[in-house]
């Protein structure tokens, strides 16, 4: 016997469910893909291969899919459901972290990414929405390593966070990229938000944001529109800017990122609670609505015009961007 709660549509290629099953003490999260929803069937066929490569990953901060069921026309993926608040929601609600808390939180996330990159695989879906802080203040990364999920995560047209996750390479090429270099870009966005309390590129319309991304015009606290905000550590700022480099080949590796954060934290005592993040208490689960798995809370959105959804910009607009920055 089980109760299945269908989540409101957020994704374009899959259906998501929270399942309470009598054989499991904790809820399960299921995602169902239908072959008929895929224009390119080869992408659908990669799901079992990617699942096999990730199911045995062991790290306290990673929650891989642990079960797969496939028929001729459907694939079901299953993992534990993580009750908690997305890092996006937490930052939207609380703002910037304390410096010590931000360093520690960043090191937990970096260590999880490092574990995946060690087996030469990209996470593909590294986002503030895919990082869950539990009520015990543990950090959990979910919905990673499956290319179909990475594409699926760009289902909302005016979601700035989904747009940013494409990276400069995805924005200019007009297609979703999946690489360890793009993971570093997205990790840079995450670390920036943790330290600063907002997203790294500020503009009033889509074209201006695109140009800021390609020109690496990161708006750090204490500069530009954020001049009234307190500056962050210069070494952290330098690291983030290198991670957000428009050229993927000029971004640091996860090993280099891990070493830099490690050097900054050397000699510092860990918080008394090894999972302390520096944030106030996470909101109780029952107080939040569910509108897309763990993405239930406030999504950071554009304040004015909608942004291009997955598929990127038109050829004419990409040409205009290139001509303006060369």
User: Residue 4: its pLDDT value, please?
Assistant: 46
**CATH topology identical between 2-80 and 84-325:** no
* Every domain of the chain and the residues it spans: 2-80, 84-325
User: Residue 91: its pLDDT value, please?
Assistant: 86
pLDDT tens digits for range 246-288: 999 999 999 999 999 888 766 554 443 433 454 444 443 332 3
Q: What is the largest CA-CA distance in the chain?
A: 61
- Torsion sign across C-alpha atoms 15, 140, 133, 177: negative
List CB contacts of 300: < 8 A, sequence separation 6 or more: 88, 92, 128, 160, 161, 198, 199
**Which option is the CATH number for 2-80: 1.20.1050.90, 3.30.420.40, 3.30.200.20, 3.40.718.10?**
3.30.200.20
Q: How big is the CA angle at 208 (ends 205 and 214), to the nearest 5 degrees?
A: 140
The domain covering 84-325 belongs, at the CATH homologous superfamily level, to Transferase(Phosphotransferase) domain 1 (1.10.510.10)
User: Residue 254: its pLDDT value, please?
Assistant: 97
Give the 3-state secondary structure of the chain: CEEEEECCCCCCCEEEEEEEECCCCCCEEEEEEEHHHCCCHHHHHHHHHHHHHHCCCCCCCEECCCEEEECCCEEEEEEECCCEEEHHHHHHHHCCCCHHHHHHHHHHHHHHHHHHHCCCCCCCCCCHHHEEEECCCCEEEECCCCHHHHHHCCCCCCEHHHHHCCHHHHHHHCCCCCCHHHHHHHHHHHHHHHHHCCCCCCCCCHHHHHHHHHCCCCCCCCCHHHCCCCCCCHHHHHHHHHHCCCCHHHCCCHHHHHHHHHHHHCCCCCCCCCCCCCCCCCCCHHHCCCCCCCCCCCCCECCCCCCCCCCCCCHHHHHHHHHHHC
CB 123 within 8 A of CB 109: no
User: Residue 314: its pLDDT value, please?
Assistant: 39
140 phi-psi bin (left φ>0, alpha ψ -120 to 50, beta other) = beta
Kindly give the parts of the chain with pLDDT less than 70.
Answer: 1-14, 21-24, 39-41, 150-159, 202-204, 265-326
User: Residue 118: its pLDDT value, please?
Assistant: 92
User: Residue 265: its pLDDT value, please?
Assistant: 66
Q: What token pair was written down for 263? A: 């050097």
């Amino acid at each position: 016997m089980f109760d299945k709660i269908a989540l409101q549509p957020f994704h374009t290629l899959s259906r998501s469910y929270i399942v309470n099953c009598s054989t499991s003490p904790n809820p399960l999260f299921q995602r169902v893909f239908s072959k008929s929803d895929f224009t390119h069937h080869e992408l659908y066929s990669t799901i079992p291969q990617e699942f096999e490569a990730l199911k045995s990953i062991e790290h306290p901060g990673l929650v891989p899919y642990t079960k797969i069921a496939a028929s001729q026309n459907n694939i079901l993926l299953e993992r534990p459901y993580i009750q908690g608040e997305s890092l996006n929601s937490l930052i939207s609600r609380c703002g910037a972290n304390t410096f010590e808390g931000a360093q520690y939180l960043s090191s937990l996330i970096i260590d999880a990414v490092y574990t995946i990159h060690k087996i030469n695989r990209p996470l593909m879906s590294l986002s503030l929405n895919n990082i869950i802080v539990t009520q015990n203040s543990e950090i959990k990364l979910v919905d990673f390593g499956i290319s179909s999920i990475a594409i699926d995560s760009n289902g909302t047209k005016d979601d700035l966070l989904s747009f940013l996750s494409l990276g400069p390479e995805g924005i200019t090429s007009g297609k979703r990229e999946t690489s360890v270099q793009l993971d570093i870009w997205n990790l840079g966005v995450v670390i920036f938000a943790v330290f600063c309390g907002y997203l790294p590129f500020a503009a009033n319309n889509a074209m201006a944001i695109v140009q800021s991304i390609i020109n690496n015009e990161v708006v750090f606290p204490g500069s530009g529109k954020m001049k009234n905000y307190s500056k962050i550590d210069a070494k952290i700022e330098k690291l983030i800017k290198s991670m957000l480099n428009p050229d993927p080949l000029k971004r640091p590796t996860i090993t280099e990122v891990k070493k830099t954060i490690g050097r900054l934290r050397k000699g510092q005592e860990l918080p008394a609670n090894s999972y302390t993040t520096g944030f106030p208490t996470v909101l109780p689960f029952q107080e939040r609505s569910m509108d897309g798995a763990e993405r239930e809370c406030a999504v950071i959105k554009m304040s004015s015009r909608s942004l291009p959804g997955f598929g990127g910009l038109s050829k004419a607009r990409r040409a205009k961007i290139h001509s303006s920055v060369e």
